[in-house]
Amino acid sequence: MEKSLFDKYGGFSAVSKIVLSLYDRLLDDDDVGPFFDDVDMPKLIDHQTKFVSSLMGGPASFTDDHIARAHRGMTIEDHHFDRLKVMVAETLSDFDLTQDDITTILDGFEKRRPLLTENPDVN
């Protein structure tokens, strides 16, 4: 049986390092950084580590409803999301993920674009 990307790249420990590096980039970015003002960063990094782990076939996951609720009212536009994807790709590349594996993870982000950019009204 083929290993998941989560197992292939080292599990939670490796994903945690990737996410920490990603947030270093995001926080320094003029377009995306302001979204993280007044955010509980340790909590966010924990959630994002679990989310990225799930995109890589790991054990943790979030429902689309949870993701939509977490981003409701943030006024995230497509250009913000596009910038996020660029920084995710750069970060994954820094950790020597293959281009195919980066594409797989980015596809997982892209599938959720409407949850972030359209902010559907979730009860």
The model's confidence at residue 123, banded by pLDDT at 50, 70 and 90, is very low
Q: pLDDT for 33-57, tens place per residue?
A: 999 998 999 999 999 999 999 999 9
The Cα-based distances of 50 to 13, 59, 123 in angstroms read 11, 8, 23
CA 121 to chain centre: 21
Supply φ then ψ for residue 64, to 5 degrees.
-60, -35
Q: What percent of the chain has pLDDT over 90?
A: 78
CA separation for the pair 119, 117 (Å, rounded)? 6
The tokens of 1 are what? 């049986």
pLDDT at res. 118: 58
pTM for this entry: 0.89
Going from N- to C-terminal start, the domains of the chain cover 5-117
Mean of pLDDT values over 78-99:
97
Query: What confidence score (pLDDT) does residue 86 get?
Result: 97
Does the pLDDT value for residue 102 go beyond 90? Answer: yes
Output the average pLDDT for the chain.
Answer: 91
Is it true that domain 5-117 has CATH number 1.10.10.10? no
- SS3 per-residue string spanning 31-75: CCHHHHCCCCHHHHHHHHHHHHHHHCCCCCCCCHHHHHHHHCCCC
Question: How high is the pLDDT of residue 107?
Answer: 97
